Amino acid sequence: MPLNLSPRPAFVAYLTCGDPDLATTRAAALAAIDAGAAVIELGVPFSDPVADGPVIQRASHRALERGTTLGDVLRLARELRHDRPAAGLIVFSYFNPVLRFGLERFCKAAARAGVDGALITDLTVEEAGDYLRQMRSRNLATVFLAAPTSSDARLHRIAKASTGFVYAVSRTGVTGARRSLSGAARQLVARLRRYTDLPIAVGFGISTPKQFRAVGRFADAVVVGSSIVERVERSHSPESASRAVGGWVRSLLRTPAEFAQRRRGI
């Protein structure tokens, strides 16, 4: 089933799997979906998360301390697919865990788990030939990051290699909440639209209802990560994480009417 990024702007929620345990991630993911998230990015903990800010770095550290593996993330994805068949599920990982797992094995296991696709944050389109072949052979979406500093030629290549949606990074630097948004995101989305008809999701630094609304006026989807992970960090049980994440997702959606509309789209 193709990813459904509607109604727009769709809500894409990132979670670091296994932080502080898989039961909490499962509860938080289900709460986010029930609150209106169209897609869950299932973050694979990694020991050297260079693209991530301190909040997700701490989450990765806690998850690794509990021994969370890519195999665990795929088993969680299978459970989520069973419980919420219409939700979008994307594995969000650095390439090293995938290579250790085995690329062909990963694609096969992801497809069996019901995952819609993957975003490999440190894999460039120039080095993605084998990855693209393996993913496409399993009908899995390949989502790539596009940065404001990318040349037009590079954006063209990213758009051509992407399926499902394109992830536009709102600014340079690492993930994490920011008080204000850069104007670069709007310009980047406009540049990407010259090369693709795919939905464009904007992420990095979006953590308030005002920012969500601002990005939602020009992007097809808005990705929220660190502020969700931060709420999981403050929770003391799967139940409290579920309440915190569900409430936060609802608060980022604009009005009760919009929330209801999103629910109908799940």
The full DSSP string for 90-123 is EEEE-HHHHHHH-HHHHHHHHHHHT--EEEETT-
For residue 122, CA distances in Å to 21, 220, 255 come to 25, 23, 36
Helix, strand, coil share (%) of the chain residues, nearest 5: 50, 15, 35
Please check whether residue 38 is in contact with residue 87, taking contact to mean a CB–CB distance below 8 angstroms.
Answer: yes
Question: What is the C-alpha separation between 215 and 192, in angstroms, rounded?
Answer: 15
What amino acid positions are annotated as catalytic residues? 41, 52
Respond yes or no on whether the N-terminal peptide bond of residue 7 is cis (omega within 30° of 0): yes
Please check whether residue 252 is in contact with residue 42, taking contact to mean a CB–CB distance below 8 angstroms.
Answer: no
